[in-house]
Structure 1
Amino acid sequence: MQKIFKIAFIIIFIGQIAGRWFSSPLLDYIFKPLIMPCLALYLYFSVQGRLSKFIKFIIIGFVFSWLGDIALMLEKFNSQLFLLGLAFFLVAHIFYIIAFNTHIQKPFFQEKPLLFVPLFLYGIGFFYFLYPNLQGFTIPVLLYTIVITAMAIFALNRKNNVSLLSFKLIFRGALFFVLSDSLIALNKFMLQIPYNGLWVMLTYMVAQYLIAEGSKQN
């Protein structure tokens, strides 16, 4: 079954990218709601239904990501849905953080604290860069920046606590997530990025896939 859902994800990935490339709302409405359910089922069957605490928290994160996808997809009909989508993804990242922390016995932070500095600096610097244009979104964006930066930090903290492959896949997924959300923020608050929707969804789908793939390798 996992092969079936992996193939399905490839089809969804191509369909979603095509929708963004051709600016087709129809393709977006068809494929975007399928991304996270497909990855959740792919992960479920990859671990043969053995739901450890780690896998449960990752799948719950996938569910809230799916809710965030739906909210942001419908944002054009109600601008308030942007904040709702932000809230759903914030909760998703909290569950990812909880999941990443489940197997930490010796925090990597204690061994190589300097390696975490770039993540801290990026989170602080990016918020400072956006701040003049945030207006009424200052508090929500600040909270989201803190949480997604923490998600990447906790992903890095897994090093030497899990298999090297699981660490690499999930940490790369976390970095792609930070990139995807940074593109959303830049486009909404700073400047119009050409084909922004395409780059956002490309990096987002890669991020979630790497998290799913790394989770089954744990």
Structure 2
Amino acid sequence: MLERGQLHHRRSCRMPRTLSPDPRWLLLAVVVSAALTIAGGSGGPGPGWLPWVFKPLTTLLVIAYAATRAGDVPRRRRWVLAGLAWSLAGDVALLWPQSGFIFGLVSFLIAHLCYVAAFTATTRFGASPSAFATYAVVSAAILSQLWPHVPAGLRLPVLAYVVCLAAMAAQAAAWWWTCPPGSGRRGAGLAAVGGALFLASDTLLAFNKFAEPLPLASLWVLSTYWSAQWCIASALRPRAAG
């Protein structure tokens, strides 16, 4: 009788584990939701209301995925979730491309600062000067091409945003480059990929907005954007089995 009671207790303790969403299904949901957003975007084959539903939903699904990865350093997990929440605010703001642009820019700037805080949880800021030097050169090259097309009133906000974006990507790379071999290095590598993809996505977005329209802009901008967010969320370690 005691053994049967202990077995029932062990089973009841395991039951809540089945309530966590399967990451594979979350990834599939993100891909489908992102595809519907892109299909309804500018020039897409779908109806124009699709982004209003599926653009916020896609980021919410990434947040749900990040929330399941509860095995990481609490500070890193907290700041990654904060960065995703501010990204969601930016996504909603940019549904109004003109009137919501500044609020969206500020929201994503704060998101990048949150990611910087996350990536300094176990690695000091600027731990790899070469990573920061590399991203400084890349960002300066991009900005030099973009700068003549940016309206005068937006130049200061855009400059501040580029600095924060480059710092986030550089710190992610610094975390990876200085991380010793082990289980944490894989997460750091995913964060570094996410930072690079974020820079690529925002570069495409900026040239499409300020310079000249890009063919299939929604496809390239949003696919790299959500790939970046998924990689950053995947940098968090999942809860250990058992």
TM-score w.r.t. length of structure 2: 0.80
Kindly provide the CA deviation profile for residues 48-85 of structure 1, in whole angstroms up to 9, marking residues without a partner as x. 6x77011001101010000000000132xxx2211110
1:25 aligns with 2:48: yes
Would you tell me which structure has more helix in proportion to its own residues? Answer: 1
In the alignment, is residue 86 of structure 1 matched against residue 109 of structure 2?
A: no
Q: What letter is aligned with 1:86?
A: L
CA contact (8 A) 1:2 1:42 kept: no
In 2: Cα distance, 1:106 partner to 1:36 partner: 27
> Offset at 1:7?
1.3
Structure 2 residue aligned with 1:144: 161
Q: Which runs of 5+ in 2 are unaligned?
A: 1-18, 40-44
Residue identity (%): 26
Cα displacement (A) at 1:18: 3.7
Matched, 1:158 2:163: no
Task: Supply the distance in 2 between the matched residues of 1:216 and 1:65 (Cα, whole angstroms).
Answer: 21
Residue 66 (structure 2) pairs with residue 43 (structure 1): yes
In 2, Cα distance between equivalents of 1:167 and 1:157? 9
Q: Which residue of 2 aligns with 1:203?
A: 224
Q: In the alignment, does 2:138 pair up with 1:122?
A: yes
CA distance in 1 between partners of 2:30 and 2:67 (Å) = 18
For residue 125 of structure 1, what is the amino acid of its counterpart? A
- What residue identity is the alignment partner of 1:65? S
- Residue aligning to 1:12: 30
Change in CA separation of 1:26 and 1:177 when aligned onto 2, cut-off 3 Å: same
User: Which ranges in structure 1 are unaligned for 5 or more consecutive residues?
Assistant: none
1:215 equivalenced with 2:224 (yes/no): no
Return the letter of the residue paired with 2:114.
Answer: F
Which stretch shifts more, 151-160 or 21-30?
A: 21-30
Q: Structure 1 length as normaliser, TM-score?
A: 0.88
* Alpha carbons 1:101, 1:154 under 8 Å: kept: yes
**Hey, what's the Cα distance between the residues in 2 that align with 1:92 and 1:19?**
21
Counterpart amino acid of 1:88?
S
Alignment partner, residue 5 of structure 2: none
How far 1:215 sits from its partner (Å)?
Answer: 1.7
Distance 1:178 1:62 in 2: 16
- Computed over aligned residues only, the root mean square deviation of the Cα atoms, in angstroms, reads 2.2
Contact 1:16-1:31 at 8 Å conserved across structures: yes
Give the Å deviation of 1:4. Answer: 3.6
User: Is residue 98 of structure 1 aligned with residue 117 of structure 2?
Assistant: yes
